[in-house]
């Protein structure tokens, strides 16, 4: 931005009452106006007491009415009873920026361990950036210095000054690729990669990704969606005692005396005090321990009450056999027995089993972190205005959503131009923050398709295949590499939307399931009746379809035009119809193999 407006708000009871001088606020003004923040100027200062409502009132005025770009507060960030600046600030923020307090803490902790007691926050309200600084002159000065280099860029982001943001991002791309741009005459005319069958390409993916499995320990309640890596054995019995299955009366099954004297009532969670003897019974609730000696429970509905001489007696209309309505000790599981096996997908029932057994932590296969990146000079974000020859990027949001539906963490790394330096820089970032990088585009034979060359030349990647005999998705590629001592995976998917979706289902998601310890890697396959004619091409075809189940039979319809560039061909698809090559037409009524995809069948 050309000029950044700044407000400095001092929060201090003593300064507000003039019992102390505001040295911290004055020092911050001098530093800012002296140039520590480029193009910034303090336009207003104020002092308020350590009162939440007073702090909020001033912040609201400066954010919503005066629309200042940056507001620094100083004071009230500690742990004393009247230190309420963080709470007042948090109540007004639209979004927190936790990285700024982290920068402040890093700098402060280098000076004093007491930095651990500071609770300052930072965030955005509207188009204003609010940052809490400590109250002392020295500490606030150190903290302002710590964040000074990010303020300008933060303001550009908050105010959506795209030109400045893009300029800075470009300047940060200091990595230079060893790959040189080529002209039309130097363009490769034939792919160096053999075209593999789908099953052969999948076999390579599964073999290589198996080695990427790693284990981690986690709290059982957070393990939903993970796969167990180490078996879990029961640490005690369930139930830990003989328990009643129904509300009723514990009796001796051989004792047919009727009615019986009620000698005790035992609720769930309590222990019976008496032993059952002939002619007696004890009332038990569902889940209550069975009294000593009892071997059956009469349900309430098979009894009636009779009063006799101030004593309650229970009449029985149907006597149960021995063992009736009793859960024996350890009948669910016994101490030391296998509770959950290795390879078990931890769904809701598995977590319930762990909770019932008192298992508080489990060892699971960790899930890989994925980054998704679109490439292409013609690709723009959906919110951007289209220029000549440009198209909106639908691949990133589609693939990231597919990953999230499968329970994988996904980073959006945006769009990168088809330029070696830009690709090298963005891929470097991707490999730092993720285990698996997925790109779409730059997979064909164009003179701007540098991606595989950058991976091999700059990262030392081993491209294991670069073409698959299928439609859509022929230019799919797969590679492994080491980056900063860690193994990484790369999937290069075609840029056409339908191709990207199909290859995600056939290669990328199965690979992630493999790394995560799943046994079932590929989509389930069923046989269905075709409801339309398919005219075959020269490659195996994965036709997007709609699978239904009626009267005990599967049938499958088309989603319409199957152009690989048509996003709509995947819109209602819940299956991929597998059509082998070499057949001119597959007629309506034929039995076809179908891969079930998605969550809605």
Tokens 């890697």, residue located: 521
> Does position 586 have pLDDT exceeding 80, yes or no?
yes
> Does position 171 have pLDDT exceeding 70, yes or no?
no
> Does position 142 have pLDDT exceeding 80, yes or no?
yes
Rounded CA gap, 578 and 281, in Å?
67
In three-state form (DSSP H/G/I as H, E/B as E, the rest C), the secondary structure along 200-226 is HHHHHHHHHHHCCCCEEEEEHHHCCCC
Please say whether the beta carbons of 593 and 550 come within 8 A.
Answer: no
Residue of 426, 440, 427, 431 whose CA lies nearest to 376: 440
Q: Where are the domains of the chain?
A: 4-168, 198-212+368-515, 215-237+333-365, 243-327, 525-596
Average pLDDT estimate for 428-437: 91
In three-state secondary structure terms, 282 is strand
Strands 303-308 and 311-316: antiparallel
Average pLDDT estimate for 157-183: 66
Question: How many Cα atoms are found within 13 Å in the side-chain-facing hemisphere of 197?
Answer: 5
Q: If you ran DSSP here, which 8-state letter would residue 180 be given? A: P
Q: How far apart are the first and last CA of the chain?
A: 51
Query: Which CATH code, of 3.20.20.150, 3.40.190.10, 1.10.1740.10, 3.90.105.10, is assigned to 215-237+333-365?
Result: 3.90.105.10
Phi, psi of 161 (to 5 degrees): -90, 85
Highest mean pLDDT pick, 387-396, 516-525, 536-545: 516-525
Please say whether the beta carbons of 327 and 287 come within 8 A.
Answer: no
Average pLDDT estimate for 7-12: 96
At 127 the pLDDT is 92
At 446 the pLDDT is 55
What torsion, rounded to 10 degrees, do the Cα atoms 53, 54, 55, 56 define? 50
At 572 the pLDDT is 80
pLDDT band at 281 (very low <50, low <70, confident <90, very high): very high
| Exposed/middle/buried for residue 588 (C-beta within 10 Å: 0-12, 13-18, 19+) | exposed
Residue of 532, 540, 453 whose CA lies nearest to 492: 453
> Does position 243 have pLDDT exceeding 70, yes or no?
yes
pLDDT-wise least confident of 63-72, 169-178, 233-242: 169-178
Rounded CA gap, 422 and 428, in Å?
10
Encode pLDDT of 288-326 as tens digits: 999 999 999 999 999 999 887 667 899 999 999 999 999
**Region 198-212+368-515: CATH code:** 3.40.980.10
Please say whether the beta carbons of 468 and 542 come within 8 A.
Answer: no
At 163 the pLDDT is 52
- pTM, entire model: 0.68
Please say whether the beta carbons of 13 and 135 come within 8 A.
Answer: no
At 226 the pLDDT is 96
Does CATH place domain 243-327 in 3.30.70.2860? no
In three-state secondary structure terms, 320 is coil
Please say whether the beta carbons of 592 and 527 come within 8 A.
Answer: yes
Partners of 440 in the β-ladder: 374, 493
Rounded CA gap, 563 and 570, in Å?
10
Fold classified for 525-596 = Beta-clip (2.40.340)
Please say whether the beta carbons of 293 and 326 come within 8 A.
Answer: no
Same fold, 215-237+333-365 and 525-596: no
> Does position 194 have pLDDT exceeding 60, yes or no?
yes
pLDDT band at 1 (very low <50, low <70, confident <90, very high): low
At 280 the pLDDT is 96
Task: Tell me the average pLDDT of the chain.
Answer: 90
> Does position 500 have pLDDT exceeding 90, yes or no?
yes
Q: If you ran DSSP here, which 8-state letter would residue 90 be given? A: H
Helix (H) or strand (E) holding 420: helix 420-433
> Does position 186 have pLDDT exceeding 90, yes or no?
no
In three-state secondary structure terms, 34 is helix
> Does position 239 have pLDDT exceeding 90, yes or no?
yes
At 2 the pLDDT is 63
Distance of alpha carbon 275 from its chain centroid, rounded?
Answer: 55
The sign of the torsion formed by the CA atoms of 251, 253, 259, 261 equals negative
Report the residue count for the chain: 601
pLDDT band at 68 (very low <50, low <70, confident <90, very high): very high
Question: 350-388: buried (b, 16+ CB within 10 Å) or exposed (e) per residue?
Answer: bbebbeebebeebbbbbbbebbbbbbbebbbeeeeeeee
What torsion, rounded to 10 degrees, do the Cα atoms 88, 93, 97, 98 define? 40
> Does position 138 have pLDDT exceeding 60, yes or no?
yes
At 75 the pLDDT is 95
Percentage of residues of the chain with pLDDT beyond 70? 93
pLDDT band at 571 (very low <50, low <70, confident <90, very high): confident
At 145 the pLDDT is 87
> Does position 167 have pLDDT exceeding 60, yes or no?
no
Fold classified for 4-168 = Molybdenum Cofactor Biosythetic Enzyme; Chain A (3.40.980)
Encode pLDDT of 437-455 as tens digits: 999 988 765 556 789 999 9
Instruction: Provide the strand spans (E) within 115-247.
Output: 122-125, 128-133, 215-219, 227-228, 232-233, 243-244
Rounded CA gap, 59 and 66, in Å?
10
> Does position 224 have pLDDT exceeding 80, yes or no?
yes
Residue of 407, 313, 416 whose CA lies nearest to 368: 407
At 197 the pLDDT is 96
At 600 the pLDDT is 66
Highest mean pLDDT pick, 158-162, 299-303, 449-453, 533-537: 299-303
pLDDT-wise least confident of 165-169, 321-325, 461-465, 498-502: 165-169
């Amino acid at each position: 931005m050309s000029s950044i407006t700044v407000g400095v708000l001092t929060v201090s009871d003593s300064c507000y009452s003039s019992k102390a001088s505001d040295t911290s606020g004055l020092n911050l003004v001098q530093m800012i106006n002296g140039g520590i923040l480029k193009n910034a100027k303090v336009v207003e200062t104020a002092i308020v007491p350590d009162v939440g409502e007073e702090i909020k009132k001033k912040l609201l005025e400066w954010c919503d009415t005066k629309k200042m770009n940056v507001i620094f507060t100083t004071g009230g960030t500690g742990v004393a009873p009247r230190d309420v600046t963080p709470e007042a600030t948090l109540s007004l923020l639209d979004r927190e920026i936790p990285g700024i307090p982290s920068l402040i803490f890093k700098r402060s902790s280098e000076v004093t361990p007491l930095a651990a007691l500071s609770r300052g926050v930072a965030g955005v309200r509207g188009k204003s950036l609010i940052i809490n600084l400590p109250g002392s002159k020295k500490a606030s000065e150190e903290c302002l210095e710590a964040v000074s280099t990010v303020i300008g860029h933060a303001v550009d982001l908050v105010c959506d000054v795209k030109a400045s943001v893009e300029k800075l991002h470009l300047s940060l791309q200091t990595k230079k690729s060893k790959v040189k741009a080529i002209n039309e005459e130097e363009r490769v005319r034939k792919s160096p990669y053999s075209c593999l069958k789908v099953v052969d390409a999948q076999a390579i993916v599964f073999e290589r990704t198996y080695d990427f499995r790693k284990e981690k320990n986690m709290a059982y309640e957070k393990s939903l969606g993970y796969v167990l890596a180490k078996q879990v054995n029961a640490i005690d019995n369930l139930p830990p005692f003989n328990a009643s299955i129904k509300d009723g009366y514990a009796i001796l099954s051989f004792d047919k005396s009727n009615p019986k004297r009620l000698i005790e009532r035992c609720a769930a969670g309590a222990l019976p005090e008496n032993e059952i003897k002939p002619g007696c019974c004890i009332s038990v609730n569902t889940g209550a321990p069975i009294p000593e000696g009892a071997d059956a429970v009469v349900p309430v509905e098979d009894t009636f009450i009779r009063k006799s001489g101030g004593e309650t007696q229970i009449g029985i209309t149907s006597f149960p056999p021995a063992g009736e309505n009793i859960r024996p000790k350890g009948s669910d599981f016994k101490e030391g027995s296998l509770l959950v096996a290795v390879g078990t997908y931890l769904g809701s029932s598995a977590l319930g089993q762990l909770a019932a057994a008192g298992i508080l932590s489990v060892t699971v296969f960790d899930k890989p972190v994925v980054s998704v990146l679109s490439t292409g000079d013609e690709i723009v974000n959906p919110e951007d205005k289209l220029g000549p020859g440009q198209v909106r990027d639908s691949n990133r949001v589609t693939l990231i959503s597919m990953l999230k539906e499968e329970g994988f963490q996904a980073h959006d790394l945006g769009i990168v131009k088809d330029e070696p330096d830009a690709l090298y820089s963005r891929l470097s970032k991707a490999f730092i923050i993720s285990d698996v990088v997925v790109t779409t585009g730059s997979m064909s034979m164009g003179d701007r398709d540098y991606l595989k060359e950058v991976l091999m030349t700059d990262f030392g990647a081993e491209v294991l295949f670069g073409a698959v005999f299928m439609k859509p998705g022929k230019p799919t590629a797969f590679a492994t590499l080491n980056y900063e001592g860690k193994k990484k995976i790369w999937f290069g998917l075609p840029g056409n939307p339908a191709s990207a979706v199909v290859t995600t289902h056939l290669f990328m998601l199965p690979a992630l399931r493999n790394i995560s310890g799943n046994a079932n890697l590929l989509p389930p396959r069923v046989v269905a009746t075709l409801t339309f004619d398919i005219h075959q091409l020269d490659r195996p075809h994965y036709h997007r379809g709609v699978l239904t189940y009626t009267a005990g039979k599967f049938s499958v319809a088309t989603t319409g035009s199957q152009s690989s560039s048509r996003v709509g061909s995947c819109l209602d698809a819940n299956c991929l119809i597998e059509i082998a090559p070499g057949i001119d037409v597959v007629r309506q009524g034929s039995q076809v193999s179908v891969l079930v995809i998605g969550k809605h069948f």
